[in-house]
Amino acid sequence: MTLINSLRTQPDDRGHFGQFGGRYVAETLMPLVLDLETEYRKAKADPAFHAEFDDLLEHYVGRPSPLYFAPRLTEELGGAQIWFKRDELNHTGAHKINNCIGQILLAIRMGKTRIIAETGAGQHGVATATVCARFGLPCIVYMGATDVARQAPNVFRMKLLGAEVVPVTSGAATLKDAMNEALRDWVANVDDTFYIIGTAAGPHPYPELVRDFQSVIGKEARAQMLSRVGRLPDVLVASIGGGSNSIGLFHPFLDDPSVKMLGVEAAGHGLDKEHAASLAGGRPGILHGNKTYLLQDEDGQITEGHSISAGLDYPGIGPEHSWLKEIGRVDYTSVTDTEALEGFQLLCRTEGIIPALEPAHAIAAVRKLAPTMDKDQIILVNLCGRGDKDIFSVAEHLRVSL
Amino acid sequence: MSRFASAFQSGRSALVCFVTGGDPTPDATPAILDALVEGGADVVELGMPFTDPMADGPAIQRANLRSLAAGTKTADIFAIATGFRARHPNVPLVLMGYANPMTIRGADWFAAECTTAGVDGVICVDIPPEEDPELGPALRAEGISLIRLATPTTDAARLPAVLDGSSGFLYYVSVAGITGLQQAAQASIEDAVARLKAATDIPVAVGFGVRTPEQAAEIAKVADGVVVGSAIIDIVAAEGANAPTKVRDFVRSLRTAMDHAREKTA
Ligand SMILES: Cc1ncc(COP(=O)(O)O)c(C=O)c1O
């Protein structure tokens, strides 16, 4: 059945989500993204591809991830019931692996023999290094030098998994610069290399295919909710860096009008200071292959994002979110570094779960939202990563020396 | 005759020289552009600095960052262009850069500014034919040439789309890669130029990785134009206040070598 008014049929055949998205790449890369699109269309229609994807998600990643009711957090906040989609329990500790499994299967289908990736927090780098080890392909991960320093455990993990980690020193030496460098690598290695992008951004078809692979989160959660409580949640909440864990949770619910959605951007030191909230503080522009909301100055120079979380300090956002904001289907808010740290500690204390700093932003938003809702309402939060990688930087912020 | 038509005369290969506007400062750029013309550049490409020059190698990346660190604004680039046009009424001027600074105030605004400043053509690295509506129609409406890039990955099936709507000249990027690093084999350049020239009447200029008079001379034997960028940027980076003199001498060495190469084959 095709729904005429469905919000789930984007993008159009040119890769546009309304005015957003598209394929703004150098001519050298254009034939490659067209090839990828052709191959992805075939894979999407191939039951064998889906079977292999599903099998790996079940037996290698550990899906489905649990749906968990958080009683003590709910009680403490004194409002809506809070449920978590436990993607932090995935192999490698975050949602990033869902996407990497899908993309490495595509790479193999296309006969590519070398994998490159960019990473911010290092979670996507670890997930990419993991699938490369699993399939025996060489892996080069570009990572901003600043992030190499603040995410040392993940750098070591990638190396253990056999990846080469290339520190990038241009710009602020964070995620955006790592993405530039990965694109430069791709342009120079067009024949054998597959670029595994880590979020739902970049040139078409990446925003679509990353979303499709991550939609396993929302599909499972929707079915689990219906079987556990017999109804859909009232609000979905997820943190936003480039937007992959959030679109993965939201997309399967977009045509359920009763379900509200809240995306949480990183307000860093505050929206009037340094932050990484592209929707709240940016304007539409063109970067990294797509048109989307970007942090930029009046001349279109990109400004650096800041967040306590290395996975959120990207000055852009996936184009589907820009579109969902413009049509008003999803609400977006932001929380500061300080609020995220409080959210982090709150979850540790009330539920015995150490979250990554990225979903800690979602928890901080829930802390404000839940008390305003009724006790019979349900908030479903994407707990998209665990906090092992962050304990060193959290300790530093709490002025504890380890 | 348009400025491009007089720059690309038959029997001669045009020398196209690129520098980043505002590198090292907006005030320093006019003298460097004059040095390009004095040395014998037939077409001048003025780079618009961008924070994220994804298709550029280390030399041009650093030039972009130096320019931005010096406070270069889009208004400075248009002021540099306006001054250049007043001093050099007949030399074609091309703005080269990335989509976001070009489109942020609207493509119509950008195209109108190009007209006012006397810019002849625009190269936008990250707007392929598929996204032409973003910039192409506005430029064409103002009579500004949209100069497209063809690359080793542009196959025969794709070439017509690249040529459709492009004018001025076709820029053949001779290597799949970023600016300033390796050079393509002469044989592959010759094949590619022959293939492109069979498909279009507009001149074909070859660039990426051309660093020496010898390389420029070889390419000049087969192509309508030779583009040199990073090698000039390296001089700007190294020479500070002496840059104009050194740039002029280097450009002259390129031009002289290209002229001799053509004489020998003629
Ligand atoms: C655990 C976790 N959550 C969220 C993000 C942000 O990315 P996205 O918005 O694509 O989910 C990251 C990125 O590294 C991450 O590691």
> Whole-angstrom Cα distance, residue A268 to residue A261?
22
Cβ-Cβ contacts under 8 Å, A289 against chain B: 126
In this structure, are residues A354 and A62 in contact, taking their beta carbons and an 8 Å threshold?
Answer: no
Interface probe with B: pick from A14, A20, A23, A30, most Cβ of B within 10 Å: A30
**Ligand 1 touching residue A94 (CB < 6 A):** yes
Q: Is some CB atom of chain B closer than 8 A to the CB atom of A182?
A: no
B154 touches chain A (CB under 8 A): yes
Inspect the interface and report whether the beta carbons of B73 and A299 lie closer than 8 Å: yes
Digit-by-digit pLDDT tens for chain A (402 residues) are 455 689 999 999 999 999 999 999 999 999 999 999 999 999 999 999 999 999 999 999 999 999 999 999 999 999 999 999 999 999 999 999 999 999 999 999 999 999 999 998 899 999 999 999 999 999 999 999 988 987 888 999 999 999 999 999 987 788 999 999 999 999 999 999 999 999 999 999 999 999 999 999 999 999 999 999 999 999 999 999 999 999 999 999 999 999 999 999 999 999 999 999 999 999 999 999 999 999 999 999 999 889 999 889 899 999 999 999 999 999 999 999 999 999 999 999 999 999 999 999 999 999 999 999 999 999 999 999 999 989 988 999 999 998
Q: Can you tell me the distance from the alpha carbon of A83 to that of A172, in angstroms, rounded to the nearest whole number?
A: 37
Would you say residue B63 has pLDDT above 90?
A: yes
Phi-psi region of A92 (alpha: psi -120 to 50; beta: other; left: phi over 0): left
Q: How far apart are the first and last CA of chain B?
A: 25
- Is the per-residue pLDDT at B265 higher than 80? no
* ipTM value for the complex: 0.96
3-class DSSP state of A211: helix
Mutation target to probe the A interface, by most A beta carbons within 10 A, among B124, B153, B162 is B153
CB-ligand 1 contact for A98 (6 Å cutoff): no
Residue B10's pLDDT is: 83
Say how many C-beta atoms besides its own lie within 10 A of residue A159's C-beta.
13
Summarised one tens digit per residue, pLDDT across range B231-253 is 999 999 999 889 999 999 999 99
B198-204 CB contacts, 8 Å cutoff, 24+ apart: B199/B159, B199/B160, B199/B163, B200/B163, B200/B170, B202/B163, B202/B166, B202/B167, B202/B168, B202/B169, B202/B170, B203/B4, B203/B8, B203/B14, B203/B169, B203/B170, B204/B169, B204/B170, B204/B172
A235 min Cα distance to partner chain B (Å): 35
Q: Which residue, by CA, sits nearest to atom 1 of ligand 1?
A: A385
Q: For residue A195, what are the contacts with CB-CB under 8 A and spacing of at least 6?
A: A116, A117, A182, A183, A185, A186
Average pLDDT of the segment spanning B32-54: 98
Mean model confidence pLDDT for chain B: 95
Closest-CA distance, A30 to chain B, in angstroms, reads: 7
Contact, A365 vs A347, CB < 8 A?
Answer: no
- Matching residue, tokens 């390419």: B219
φ, ψ of residue A307 in degrees (nearest 5): -155, 150
Nearest-CA residue of chain B relative to A300?
Answer: B101
B113 in active site = no
Phi, psi of B178 (to 5 degrees): -95, 170
Looking at chain B, which residue has its C-alpha nearest residue A303?
B51
Compute the distance between CA of residue B132 and CA of residue B107 in angstroms, rounded to an integer. 11
B16 vs B10, residue with greater confidence: B16
B170 touches chain A (CB under 8 A): no
DSSP B167: -
Q: What is the pLDDT of residue B163?
A: 98
Interface of B with A in 4-23 (CB under 8 A): none
| Residue entry with tokens 């007043």 | B86
Question: What phi and psi values does residue A191 have, to the nearest 5 degrees?
Answer: -85, -45
What is the rounded CA–CA span in Å between residue A144 and residue B52? 14
Q: Is B45 a catalytic residue?
A: yes
A24 Cβ under 8 Å from any chain B Cβ: yes
The predicted-structure confidence for B83-111, as pLDDT tens digits, reads as follows 999 999 999 999 999 999 999 999 999 99
CB-count exposure of residue A134 (10 Å: 0-12, 13-18, 19+) = middle
Which percentage of chain B shows pLDDT scores above 70?
Answer: 98
Residue A61 CA to ligand 1 centre (angstroms): 17
Q: Which of residues 190-229 of B touch A (CB under 8 A)?
A: none
A240 lines ligand 1 (CB under 6 A): yes
